[in-house]
């Protein structure tokens, strides 16, 4: 599947020229990010919770802790919205009105289900771990049966989804172009700083490459 045909619910209405339904673009955004915001509804009240996620082909796996209490009460899954946002810069225009941000975001709608099969759960946790810190899985103790049981993971098909992307300089009105204000983009980037070893770590354990050279740029 190379495109996700927009539904009436995922079609980008505001600034439609920013809408992207190409699955490759959607996957790139999902793979560069590692925090999502999960929305669900209890008694008509929306809740939005940040959590980590992973992707395996056409399935998104999210840590189910936030929504799992709710899921237990329902069979057949719960309607969710999973939103992933990468902030790329502030767009500083000559007019307040034309200020904007450069960003890449993905919205996935659908029904989230608890992963119950132990094998699928293990694979989901592997994808979550490798998604957040590639190489980490092999550099830590893998989950025991007890830990697997204590962890809840939700799955959501990447079926009804769309991306929204803004790039480039500010777009000002013609009559504002001669105003004496600086205009442009201030790029923003999430960068890793110097790793802080656990105070209890033996001094002979060196910082491994996957931590020392951590980068969100995807292979």
Q: Segment 176-205, which members bind a copy of itself (CB under 8 A)?
A: 176-177, 179-201, 205
Instruction: Identify which of 54, 175, 60 has the alpha carbon closest to the alpha carbon of residue 108.
Output: 60
Pick from 11, 24, 72, 97 the residue near a copy of itself by CB under 8 A: 97
Residue 55 within binding range of a copy of itself, rule CB under 8 A:
no
In the region spanning residues 15 to 44, those forming contacts with a copy of itself, defined by CB under 8 A, are 35, 37-41, 44
Q: In the complex, what is the shortest distance from the CB of residue 58 to a copy of itself, in angstroms, rounded to a whole number? A: 20
Q: How far apart are the first and last CA of the chain?
A: 21
Residue closer to a copy of itself by CB (options 55, 136) is: 136
The minimum distance between CB 53 and a copy of itself, in angstroms, equals: 12
| Nearest residue to 62 (alpha-carbon basis) of 160, 125, 131, 154 | 154
Distances (CA, A) of 105 to 23, 84, 87, 165, 170: 13, 5, 8, 6, 19
| Residue from 87, 123, 134, 166 in contact with a copy of itself (CB under 8 A) | 87
CB contact burial 90-129 (16+ within 10 A = b; e otherwise) = ebbbbeeeeebebbbbbbbbbebbbbeeeeebbbbbbbbb
CB closer to a copy of itself out of 2 and 8 = 8
Q: Is 74 in the site for a copy of itself (CB under 8 A)?
A: no
125 binds a copy of itself (CB under 8 A): yes
Q: Which is nearer to a copy of itself, 2 or 141 (CB)?
A: 141
Q: Which of residues 99-118 bind a copy of itself (CB under 8 A)?
A: 99, 101, 103, 105, 107, 109
**CA-atom Rg of the chain in angstroms:** 20
């Amino acid at each position: 599947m190379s495109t996700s045909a927009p539904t009436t619910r995922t079609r980008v209405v505001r600034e439609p020229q920013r809408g992207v339904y190409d699955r490759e673009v959607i996957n790139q955004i999902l793979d560069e990010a590692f925090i999502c915001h999960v929305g669900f509804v209890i008694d008509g009240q929306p809740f939005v919770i940040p959590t980590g996620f992973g992707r395996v082909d056409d399935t998104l796996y999210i840590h189910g802790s936030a929504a799992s209490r709710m899921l237990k009460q329902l069979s057949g899954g719960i309607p969710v919205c999973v939103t992933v946002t990468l902030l790329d810069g502030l767009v500083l225009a000559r007019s307040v009105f034309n200020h904007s941000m450069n960003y890449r975001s993905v919205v996935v709608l659908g029904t989230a289900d608890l992963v119950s099969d132990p094998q699928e759960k293990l694979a989901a946790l592997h994808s979550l771990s490798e998604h957040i810190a590639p190489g980490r899985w092999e550099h830590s103790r893998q989950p025991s049966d007890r830990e697997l049981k204590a962890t809840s993971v939700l799955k959501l098909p990447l079926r009804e989804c769309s991306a929204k992307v803004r790039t480039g300089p500010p777009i000002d009105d013609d009559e504002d172009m001669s105003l004496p204000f600086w205009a442009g983009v201030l790029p923003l980037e999430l960068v890793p700083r110097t790793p802080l070893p656990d105070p209890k770590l033996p001094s002979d354990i060196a910082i491994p490459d996957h931590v020392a050279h951590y980068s969100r740029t995807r292979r």
